[in-house]
Amino acid sequence: MEKNLILLDNLPVGSCGRVKKLTAKGNIRRRMLDLGLIEETQVEALRKSPSGDPTAYQIRGAVIALRSEEASKILVEMC
């Protein structure tokens, strides 16, 4: 992993990042692409649920909740 990239599930609440790579395979990858998680898309971590999982992200004007398991398959570069 490149040193300036982090996993989306490690993006602090209130911070933004740009999608650089998806490591997911199969149906999960297709779902992420359908949600708009393509390269260079800006993602902002809005808030975590009280239990800590899932986390709400703003992606292309929509608020989407992703579990840590899914978010850990997305590499982002901090804005």
Q: What residue spans define the domains of the chain?
A: 5-78
> Mean pLDDT for the chain?
92
> Can you give the pLDDT at residue 52?
82
> Can you give the pLDDT at residue 22?
95
CA–CA dist 68, 55 (Å, integer): 8
> Can you give the pLDDT at residue 2?
58
Sign of CA dihedral 3, 31, 43, 11: negative
Return the ∠ at Cα 46 (arms to 3 and 23), rounded to 5°: 40
Query: What's the mean pLDDT in 41-62?
Result: 94
> Which pLDDT band holds residue 34 (cuts at 50, 70, 90)?
very high
Architecture field, domain 5-78: Roll (2.30)
> Can you give the pLDDT at residue 8?
95
Torsion of CA 63, 40, 31, 67, to 10 degrees: -50
